[in-house]
Chain A
Amino acid sequence: MMKNQIKSVLRNKSNIIYIFTFVILFAILNVALTIRPLVDQYFDNIVEEYSNTLQTQLNKISSYENIKIDELAKTIQISKELTDEQKTEIENIKHVERLEIQKIDLEGEEVHIQYLYLDDWKNFEYVNNRLDALGISGSPAVLDEQILESYSTIRNIANTIQYLLIIVSLLVIIVCCRNIVKNEQKNIKLLQIFGYKKSKIKQILFVEQITMLIIGLIFGIVLYELLYFLLVHEMLNISVENNAVMMVAINAIIILLPAFLSIHIKTLKS
């Protein structure tokens, strides 16, 4: 059945051109989906390198032996004295693991510094925003603010590019699918003459669209893997763990939505 469907799709020359467009679109779409994890991984490496270097250097000084920088890299330091109510509110913030209070003897005077341990350094901005809303100002305990600012900027740009390319790919595929259905006008009329019901014709068109999009996706993924290997693995030397569920979900939406929309256009009127 599938074999016949593929044959039927490939028989039409204009379909092959559209499959070519789908291949490029799916390849670009998947590369765009990899940008954000790539940025995260890249900055994780920077932070790790930063923490490791600082750790090695501080370990050599006896007074700093007990400090664990990798943990402190995920820590927000709050100098202001907190009330019990504020402490509870802070501990309830998402991504906050625990709140620790350290007493420091500063020339005979006891100073309290609050350390807020987060699950990931990348959530610093999120937590700090919420602290800001509570009227508490925090700063990174160890991590340089410049790293956080750079990450925040690059992450926003990566997100914008990702959303932009997803929307554009979706729109382009919708337009392509509409054109494909329009090209099938003659065949649709023939099927109607042969007595096929509208719902049956819709099913045939839907399967045809899905077949073309899946062929495009398969070759697109191959092209994406090639691009990923050449650009990311070889040039940047970073291995990224993609969120497979999210990628499958977005690809599925981009296949199903245009196919579904394209068969509901006016072309099916007799």
Chain B
Amino acid sequence: MKINKIFKISIHRVKQNKKRNLIIAIPIILITILLLTINIIQYSMENYIKSLENNLTMRTISSIRYSVFEYEEIIEKIESIEHVDMVIGEYEENIYGYKYCEQLKTKDADGYVKINPINTKTCPDITNGRKLQEDDKYVLIIPSKIYADSEGTPTGFRDIYIEKRNLNIEYINGEDLIGKKLIISFEASNGNTLEKQFEIIGTYDSNLYNDMSTLYTPKEIIKEINLELNPDLLPELEISVVVDKIENVELVKNELISKGLYEKSAILQEAQKGDSSETEVNISRVTNINVETINIMKKLIIFLLFASILIFLSFLITTNINKAYLSSTEIGVLKAEGYTNKDIQKMTIIENIIVCIISIMVSFIVFILIINISNIIMDYIIKKDTIGLTMNEIREQLFYIRQIPKKINPLFVLGISVVIIIIEVINTIFINKKILRKNIRELLKS
């Protein structure tokens, strides 16, 4: 029998058996929507993992004490260790005092920023502008969305609260400032003040780095400002090491210990006298927590995918078998009319493929509608009372769901469509084989 005739009959059967086809259409719609939701969760988790991995603080081993007389020698030794991206001296780590920028002041933010050190290796990924170069001096890499928080409060928890309270917060677009000059005023605890002019050379993704108030400048500049601001500073006693990847922190720390370069801070040293076996609570423990968090998140993604695939397969197989049972009389009639087993097999496969394609298309439309309608409803509920947001757990949960970037990977869409069709075809072939083995009488009787 010619394929176009089989195709025509299959289309006719799709139209004729609307109710029966719903048996397989509903699970496909449900599962496609579930898989698309999982894709969004996966995307948001991956973003969070990236923000953790990109965070310099999470990759920093601090409190490495050394003698002032062997500074150069120790720096050289540490720099030779594999995976070390940057070595920072005590006065290169942070500017001691307030950092204020009038140009970054908005109605919500009072213009105080945080300035962190970088070098060419640790420069954040740039969304606009250029990366840091060796000969750069007074330059800044700024967030793509700036919120110069009060007293340069660090990122993380605080930012979440700020966003929660002020959904209509006024941000400064960092990309508009590229190439422009920024004047930052510094004020030390001894009362000394200083003003410096920086050139903005690039922006990093504030969402990806979960940071809206940190500016990056070369580490040498931070030391220069510190010495200018506090001329009576004591010699440096501690250095920090920035590792290339979060998972290598433990490796580098062990290497530092084996080379005798890593000593615990004063309190820990005193506490651990006579008992060196105890675990220490310091930055590497916090880094471990992040590595563990990343691992848990990856496990949760795997569980979710595994669970949904299991639900999908069991549901699809069950409904397919159910549909096949219901169609057996019809298959008996087709056989009686003289159609061969091959023809019937082709007809049912084409019929199910058409149902699959229609169901997938319907599920995409339904999913887009669900997302848009839920966004409108959530915005309405959340924005209704911004102060009350923190008072209501449901509203708070809605806020978190609303915050998830809802981006679907087109490749994923194509992938799941192809996989669903392939599974459906394989499923149909196996179920039909069993039914087609029966003779016409048995089929008509069922």
Chain A: residues with CB nearer than 8 A to chain B? 13-14, 17-18, 20-21, 24-25, 28, 31-32, 35, 39, 42, 46, 49-50, 53-54, 56-58, 60-61, 126, 128-130, 132-133, 144-150, 152-154, 156-161, 164-165, 168-169, 171-172, 175-176, 179, 183
CB–CB B322/A172 < 8 A: no
* Interface assignment of B27: CB less than 8 Å from any CB of chain A: yes
User: Would you mind naming 6 contact pairs between A and B with Cβ atoms under 8 Å apart?
Assistant: A57-B267, A61-B271, A126-B393, A133-B165, A158-B300, A165-B307
A residues less than 8 Å from B157 (CB atoms): 128, 145, 148-149, 152
With known contacts A32-B307, A42-B296, A60-B273, A24–B314 Cβ distance under 8 A:
yes
B267:A61 contact, CB within 8 angstroms: yes
Evaluate contact between B161 and A129: CB separation under 8 angstroms: yes
Q: How far is the CB of A143 from chain B (nearest CB, A)?
A: 11
The 6 closest A-B pairs by CB, nearest first: A57-B271, A129-B390, A150-B293, A60-B271, A133-B390, A21-B318
* Chain B residues with CB below 8 A from A160, complex form: 41, 401
CB contacts under 8 Å to A, within B321-359, are 321-322, 325-326
Which residues of B, 298-312, contact A by the 8 Å Cβ criterion?
300, 303-304, 307-308, 310-311
A132 with B161: CB separation less than 8 A? yes
Question: When chains A and B are docked, how far (Å) is the Cα of A14 from the Cα of B319?
Answer: 9
Contacts of A146 in B (CB 8 A): 58, 156, 286, 289-290
Q: How far is the CA of A129 from the CA of B397 in the complex (A)?
A: 13
Interface, chain B (partner A; CB < 8 A): 23, 26-27, 30, 34, 37-38, 41, 45, 48, 58, 156-157, 160-161, 164-165, 267-268, 270-273, 278-281, 285-286, 289-290, 292-293, 296-297, 300, 303-304, 307-308, 310-311, 314-315, 317-319, 321-322, 325-326, 387, 390-391, 393, 396-397, 400-401
Q: Are A53 and B279 in contact (CB under 8 A)?
A: yes
Contacts of B160 in A (CB 8 A): 152
Tell whether, in the assembled complex, residue A130 and residue B34 are in contact, meaning their CB atoms are under 8 Å apart: no
Find chain B residues with CB under 8 A from A50 CB. Answer: 281, 285
Distance of A129 Cα from B165 Cα, bound (Å): 9
Q: Contact check: which of B156, B270, B281, B400 meets A54 at CB < 8 Å?
A: B281
Pair B272/A57 contact, Cβ less than 8 Å: yes
The verdict on A20 contacting B270 (CB below 8 Å), with A28-B307, A57-B281 known, is no
User: CA separation between A54 and B316, bound complex, in Å?
Assistant: 53
Q: Which residue from chain B places its CB closest to the CB of A69 in the assembled complex? A: B281
Contact present for B26 and A60 (CB under 8 Å): no
A172 with B156: in contact, given A50-B281, A144-B286, A150-B293 (CB under 8 Å)?
Answer: no
In angstroms, Cα B272 to Cα A35, docked, is 37
Task: Find out whether the CB atom of A53 lies under 8 angstroms from the CB atom of B307.
Answer: no
- A126–B393 Cα gap in the complex (Å)? 8
Q: How far is the CB of B326 from chain A (nearest CB, A)?
A: 8
Question: Please, how many angstroms separate the alpha-carbon atoms of A169 and B165 in the complex?
Answer: 35
Chain A residue numbers with a CB within 8 Å of B311 are 24-25, 28, 168-169, 172
Chain B residue nearest to A32 (CB atoms) is B307
Task: List A contacts of B319 (CB < 8 A).
Answer: 175, 179
What chain B residues lie within 8 Å of A130 (beta carbons)?
A: 390-391
Question: Roughly how many angstroms separate A161 CA and B374 CA in the complex, as a whole number?
Answer: 18
From B270, B296, B401, name the one whose CB has the most chain A CB atoms within 10 angstroms. Answer: B296
A132 touches B271 (CB 8 A): no
Find B314's partner among A20, A147, A165, A175 (CB 8 Å cutoff): A20
Q: CA–CA, A175 to B31, complex, Å?
A: 12
Smallest CB separation, B304 vs chain A (Å): 5
Give complex CA distance A161, B397 in Å: 13
Set of chain B residues within 8 Å of A28, measured between Cβ atoms: 307, 310-311
Which partner residue on chain B sits nearest A28 by CB separation?
A: B307
Complex alpha-carbon distance, A144 and B325, angstroms? 60
